[in-house]
Amino acid sequence: MTENNRRARILATGSYVPEFALTNEALCRMVDTSDEWIRERTGIRERRINPNLSNREMASTAAKRALEMSGLSPLDLDMIICSTITNDNYTPSLACYVQGDLGASNAFAFDINAGCSGFVYAMENASAFISSSRPNAKAVNHVLIVCSENLSRITDYTDRSSCVLFGDGAGAVIVGADEVGVLASYMRADGKGANSIVAPALTAATVTEDGRVETAPPVEKPGLVMNGREVYRFAVRAVPEAFEAGLKLAGLTADQLDYAILHQANLRIINAVIDRLGLDPAKVPFTIDRYGNTSSACIPVLLDEMNRSGKLKRGDKLAIAGFGSGLTYGVIVTEW
Ligand code: UT7
């Protein structure tokens, strides 16, 4: 490996999913829905819900499992990127908690907020830092990415159109410098659609112009609000666009891929992308039936399951597609 052919390769994976499974039958007792509607429209049978742990605890558990698989010491980590839309606090970042929990004292650490595209956005960052030679700056050889989401904390369980979709979980990967790894990427955002998925911030107080402190009025509708149809239309347009562009940049065709890894938002979206791109369904694994949509955690949790069950082989070619709130989207094409 020379300075000019350093690529970012996924060296190890880890994940954490809570034990408690919220079934469709249980949701039917909470909102006006049915198991049949949920399965037909989304492919989801159950999702895992985390009643007890903080996001930090989920994230650090997944991170420790990935680190253990890598055989590296926490001190080998140069950078930690966490992706979350459900941080326990406004500040500090989740990444700083994970850094402290691991004792990764050589790493700098920060969060990104890119919704369900968080994993591909984080991979793009890891890849850019690993591949670039930056004089007079820290060399980045090992990056920990953790995507951890406590979506049940922001889900509105009176809104049947969104509460059936979401679950909790965390996935992590260790990325290292190698001659093989990321081949191409295509990263985008469409901020004009930003209001399609919104979870409003909570404000403690405001100071009026005449210097009085007022308790801020409660937000009109706490929790996540989503225009599902708009996001659906965006996803079936944006994902094939990013996929084709990413593959072209990598010099690959869809049939040369070993796996297409898609964000797990809805089985219908996954099947629509399979149809649009003429993919072999056997090469498009999914977890949505068991875990629902865990935002940015979906992809690394799926990768961890595939990795631990021996499905992923060195040299396999993967196209990994994220899409979600922002509206963000992107594809990373990589060799395993
Ligand atoms: O990770 C990225 C973030 N999110 C997404 O990717 C979500 C993308 N969107 C979707 O997955 C789908 O749009 C949903 C699953 C959210 C909704 O499915 P849909 O086929 O687009 O349904 P719809 O919104 O067009 O609603 C169809 C009907 C409506 O009834 P009417 O107006 O036709 O009488 C809804 O009120 O289905 C009704 N409906 C439900 N019925 C039973 C909506 N949610 C439910 C429900 N159970 N849970």
CATH number, position 282: 3.40.47.10
CA of 50 to the centre of ligand 1 (A): 24
Examine the domain organization and report whether 33 and 121 are in the same domain: yes
Q: At what angle do helices 94-102 and 55-70 cross, to 10 degrees?
A: 50
Examine the domain organization and report whether 30 and 89 are in the same domain: yes
Q: Per residue in 250-265, is it b (16+ CB within 10 Å) or e — as a string?
A: bebeeeebebbbbbbb
Q: Percentage of the chain with pLDDT > 90?
A: 89
Examine the domain organization and report whether 161 and 264 are in the same domain: no
Bond from prior residue into 92 cis (ω within 30 degrees of 0): yes
Domain count, the chain: 2
Q: At what angle do helices 118-131 and 298-308 cross, to 10 degrees?
A: 70
> Quick check: is 258 in a domain?
yes
CA-nearest of 217, 218, 225 to 158 is 225
Mean pLDDT of 227-241: 96
Examine the domain organization and report whether 130 and 232 are in the same domain: no
> Quick check: is 209 in a domain?
no
d(Cα 146, Cα 119) in Å, to the nearest integer?
8
d(Cα 179, Cα 300) in Å, to the nearest integer?
22
Contacts of 126 (CB under 8 A, 6+ apart): 8, 79, 81, 140, 143, 145, 175
> Quick check: is 88 in a domain?
yes
> Quick check: is 204 in a domain?
no
> Quick check: is 313 in a domain?
yes
Examine the domain organization and report whether 150 and 189 are in the same domain: no
CA of 229 to the centre of ligand 1 (A): 7
Question: For a pocket test of ligand 1, which of 41, 84, 268 has the largest count of ligand atoms closer than 8 A to its C-beta?
Answer: 41
- Tell whether ligand 1 has an atom less than 6 A from the beta carbon of residue 157: no
pLDDT, position 4: 73
Token look-up 């930056």 returns: 134
Beta strands in the chain (DSSP E): 7-16, 21-23, 46-48, 79-83, 108-112, 142-150, 168-178, 182-189, 197-198, 205-207, 213-215, 225-226, 259-262, 317-324, 328-335
- Tell whether ligand 1 has an atom less than 6 A from the beta carbon of residue 288: no
d(Cα 174, Cα 140) in Å, to the nearest integer?
12
Closest atom, ligand 1, to C-alpha of 293: 1
Query: Annotated active-site positions, please?
Result: 116, 263, 293
Strands 328-335 and 213-215 come out as unpaired
Closest atom, ligand 1, to C-alpha of 161: 44
> Quick check: is 327 in a domain?
yes
Examine the domain organization and report whether 169 and 190 are in the same domain: no
Mean pLDDT rounded to a whole number for the chain: 95
Dihedral of the alpha carbons of 155, 160, 164, 168, in degrees to the nearest 10: 10
Examine the domain organization and report whether 135 and 235 are in the same domain: no
Inform me whether the pLDDT recorded for 23 exceeds 90: yes
d(Cα 129, Cα 125) in Å, to the nearest integer?
6
> Quick check: is 246 in a domain?
yes
Mean pLDDT of 308-334: 97
Inform me whether the pLDDT recorded for 294 exceeds 80: yes
pLDDT digits (tens, 9 = 90+) for 50-81: 999 999 999 999 999 999 999 999 999 999 99
Inform me whether the pLDDT recorded for 204 exceeds 90: no
Closest atom, ligand 1, to C-alpha of 160: 48
CA of 159 to the centre of ligand 1 (A): 10
Examine the domain organization and report whether 111 and 245 are in the same domain: no
CA of 89 to the centre of ligand 1 (A): 31
pLDDT, position 217: 73
Closest atom, ligand 1, to C-alpha of 33: 47
pLDDT digits (tens, 9 = 90+) for 111-142: 999 999 999 999 999 999 999 878 888 889 99
> Quick check: is 164 in a domain?
yes
Examine the domain organization and report whether 164 and 225 are in the same domain: no
Examine the domain organization and report whether 139 and 100 are in the same domain: yes
Q: Domain residues for 309?
A: 184-194+218-335
pLDDT, position 28: 97
- Tell whether ligand 1 has an atom less than 6 A from the beta carbon of residue 236: no
Examine the domain organization and report whether 56 and 110 are in the same domain: yes
**CB neighbourhood size of 228 (10 A):** 16
